[in-house]
Structure 1
Amino acid sequence: MKTDGSAARPAPFDDLDRRLIHALQTDGRAPFSRIAEVLGVSDQTVARRYARHRGSGGLRVLGLAEPRALGEVEWLVRVQCAPDAAVSVAEALARRPDTSWVSLMSGGTEIAAVCRSGSSEHSDALLLQKLPRTPRVVGVAAHCLLHEFYGGPQSMISKSGALTAEETARLSPPVPRPLTEPVVLSDADRRLFEALGRDGRAPLADLAAATDSSPTTVRRRLEALRADGVLYYDVDYDLRLFGYGVMVALWLSVAPAELAATGAALATHPEVAFAGATTGPHNLFASVLCRDTGALYSYLTTRVAALPGVRTMESAPRIRHIKGPGPYFAVGPAVPRSRR
């Protein structure tokens, strides 16, 4: 333990850890026996690794709802506030159930967050009434997410090559069936997602207790939600243990005729954890993860510089992570994985 009162940093993830995380990203509720078979190790080894990292805050599996399958609208929000109020405003935003990916950006006066709304009417109430009334907010800019080039069930670990294509295929669930209209969640479904947001691998008995139903009913509902593309699993992990030291929000202004091609190209970059087309003067947004500032400079001046149609670029380093995709925990992992 460090003498300055901060927790000692765990050892970096090794090859087996990375393979385990890739397996969990592919199917967060896959039995340990199935994961062990794919990884070529024992069930006990997989269970021990998972328990150790989850206990230390190095990783956790989350069961999340896909906003588009529910007909929800996502907004990338940039909140400007007084310097002495940034942390408190960010924490207030993080406590709201309709926010995720809340971060304090460089300068200490800007907060970046993702907000979800069920309709344009709800968007109006969220953006025009609720956010500006947060104490000490001096400005709000909101950009509607129009198209996702990379994100959701896909993550940085999906690009890592920790698992081979054949190993990933052995763990991958069936492709979700196409939806003709948004799925409407019941009260039991919402309680189920609340429980999965805390622990995506929670036992069926615990999920049944949370939803006042039987384990068999829960199992069937999980299968149906996954088949409809409403439910997906994500792994929240400590970025530092993967060797990432810098996370940057990247805003690009791209010629409209080049937007689709540029977004698709950006999505293939190993440094990009999330990429999406948005409204606003900067119509392409990405979350970028790099080893250090030198690697970031190299990335911006090579890969980004070579993208077609880019007119202007704005980058904003993240200095503090407040909330990820799951529920807000006032005390938790120091630097969990972030994609936005």
Structure 2
Amino acid sequence: MDSFDEDLIRALQLDGRAQFSTLANELGVHRTLVAQRVNELLESDEIRILAAVHPSAVGLPVQVNLQLRISGPTTPVFEQLLEFPNVVFLSEISGQSQAVVEVWAADLDDVGRSVREIQAIEGVVEAQLTIYDRVLRRLRLGRDPEPSDLVFDDFDIALMAELQTDGRLTFGELARRTGRSTSACRARTLRLLEARVMRIGAVRRRRTATTSVLSGFGIMLTGQENAAGSVEKMLLELPTIEFAARTLGRYSIIATIAARSLTGFTDIARQIREHPSVHLVETWVHAHVWLERYEWGMDRILQQARD
């Protein structure tokens, strides 16, 4: 996969409904090339463009990161983890641990139940838990919505259901599927996006041959005054950062950052380690992403709307 594809996918991750002409202007190429390549990426299943509904909107405000050490074959463990309904990210990684699992939960009791069930899987010998205290960047979801914006009706839910299946559906097609007018679908979709209840972007399959390296960083800080703020600022200025959160547990900050190559990954790691407020950095490479889940059953959204 060449640099043009990487730039195109990155742009679609940020805005999955961007017009081909807008993408062409941003990338400095002809619109026809963009349209052809986007269609090829979709048809090959290299990317999917979907609406991601914010965890707060589905009643899952607590998010945690688990790093698992696995003894013996790893595949049976991952296959069982895929069955957990609140596992939203699952990756096989390099290093001392063999898996990164992100769990969304209703509350800490829900976290406890999920962690105990994961620990009980045969082959899991250790689970290191880190709680997200504050999410700083989430590529597929953006900033957290205001609590007042987490109120939606049947029309909102119908639109979210359709856009979770295909984020590039036209407003005309949304109107046909929901029985509403095109203008109503446009206005309501834009309201949901502006309120940050959902965000539409590309999800990579990440299983084909590619030079892209997706890496994780567990950062421990020195404890100096304003250490967290200065490190967070540095991380958020990295152009390929996909996720960052202030955390409680082993690490002060966890980040996920993409790089074009192992050299690029090494350069990013060096930059983070050289920051004066960083005490220690542990890294891992996401060798095989088993799951990135952003779509949710409408029963969960309906339940949250009633609550």
Give the distance between the partners of 2:216 and 2:145, measured in 1 at CA: 31
Paired residue for 1:81, among 66, 70, 74? 70
- The number of aligned residues is 291
| Cα deviation 1:102-138 (Å, max 9, x = unaligned) | 101125962102111123343333334x333444333
The 1-side partners of 2:135 and 2:228 are apart by: 12
Supply the distance in 1 between the matched residues of 2:164 and 2:122 (Cα, whole angstroms).
28
What displacement does 1:69 show? 5.8
> What is aligned with 1:226?
193
Give 1:49's match in structure 2, choosing from 28, 33, 37: 37
The aligned counterpart of 1:112 is 100
Corresponding residue number in structure 2 for 1:123: 111
Change (3 A) 1:37 1:296: closer
Q: CA deviation at 1:297?
A: 3.3
Indicate conservation of the 8 Å contact 1:35/1:46, yes or no: yes
Label 1:40 to 1:189 Cα distance change in 2 as closer, same or farther (>3 A).
Answer: same
Q: What is the SS of the residue equivalent to 1:83? A: coil
CA distance in 2, matches of 1:112, 1:177: 23
Q: How far apart are the structure 1 equivalents of 2:27 and 2:281?
A: 41
Aligned-partner SS, 2:119: coil
| CA distance in 2 between partners of 1:289 and 1:151 (Å) | 13
Instruction: Give 2:53's aligned residue.
Output: 65
Contact 1:252 1:283 in 2 (8 A): yes
**Structure 1 139/206 Cα, relative in aligned 2: closer, same or farther at 3 Å?**
farther
Cα distance, 1:280 vs. partner? Answer: 0.5
Cα distance in 1 for residues equivalent to 2:89 and 2:268: 23
Task: Select which of 217, 228, 250 maps to 1:259.
Answer: 228
| Equivalent in the alignment of 1:237 | 204
Comparing 275-284 and 56-65, the one that deviates more: 56-65
After superposition, what is the alpha-carbon deviation per residue over 1:62-93, rounded to whole angstroms, capped at 9, x for unaligned?
21012356661211122233321x22222332
More displaced 10-residue stretch of structure 1: 146-155 or 38-47: 38-47
> Compared with structure 1, are the counterparts of its residues 36 and 282 closer, same or farther at alpha carbon in structure 2 (3 Å cutoff)?
closer
Secondary structure at the counterpart of residue 88 of structure 1: helix
1:199 is matched by which residue type in structure 2? D
* Structure 1 residue 43: Cα displacement: 6.0
**CA deviation profile, 1:211-247 (whole Å, cap 9, x unmatched):** x654646544422311211111222236678742x33
Output the aligned Cα RMSD: 3.6
Residue 2 (structure 2) pairs with residue 12 (structure 1): yes
TM-score (norm 2): 0.76
Given residue 142 of structure 1, which amino acid in structure 2 is its aligned partner? L
Shift in Å at residue 264 of structure 1?
1.8
Helix, strand or coil: the match of 1:131?
helix
Q: State the match for 1:167 in structure 2.
A: none
Task: Quote the Cα distance in structure 1 between the aligned partners of 2:195 and 2:110.
Answer: 24
Provide closer, same or farther for how the CA distance between residues 250 and 281 of structure 1 changes in structure 2, counting only shifts above 3 A.
same
Equivalent-residue separation in structure 1 for 2:44 and 2:105 (angstroms)? 34
In structure 2, the residue matched to 1:151 is 138
Q: What is the distance in 2 between the residues matched to 1:139 and 1:222? A: 43
Is the contact made by 2:67 and 2:97 (CA closer than 8 Å) also made in structure 1?
no
**Counterpart code for 1:315:** T
Report sequence identity in percent. 22
Query: In the aligned structure 2, how far is the partner of 1:286 from the partner of 1:28?
Result: 23
Question: In structure 1, what is the Cα distance between the partners aligned to 2:283 and 2:33?
Answer: 41
2:217 pairs with one of 247, 250, 256: 250
1:325–1:19 distance in 2 versus 1, CA, 3 Å? same
Kindly provide the amino acid, as one letter, of the partner of residue 99 in structure 1.
V
After TM superposition, the structure 1 stretch with the greater mean CA deviation from structure 2, 44-53 or 58-67, is 44-53
Q: 1:115 is aligned with what amino acid?
A: V
| TM-score, normalised by the number of residues in structure 1 | 0.70
Distance 1:83 1:132 in 2: 15
Contact 2:141/2:196 (<8 A) preserved = no
Using the alignment, how far apart are the partners of 1:315 and 1:276 within structure 2?
A: 15
Evaluate the alpha carbon distance shift between residue 200 and residue 95 of structure 1 in structure 2; reply closer, same or farther with a 3 A threshold.
Answer: farther
Structure 2: runs of 5 or more not aligned: 297-307
Q: 1:206 to 1:131 in 2, by over 3 A?
A: farther
For the 8 Å contact 2:149–2:195, the answer to whether it is kept is no
Report what 2:271 is aligned to: 303
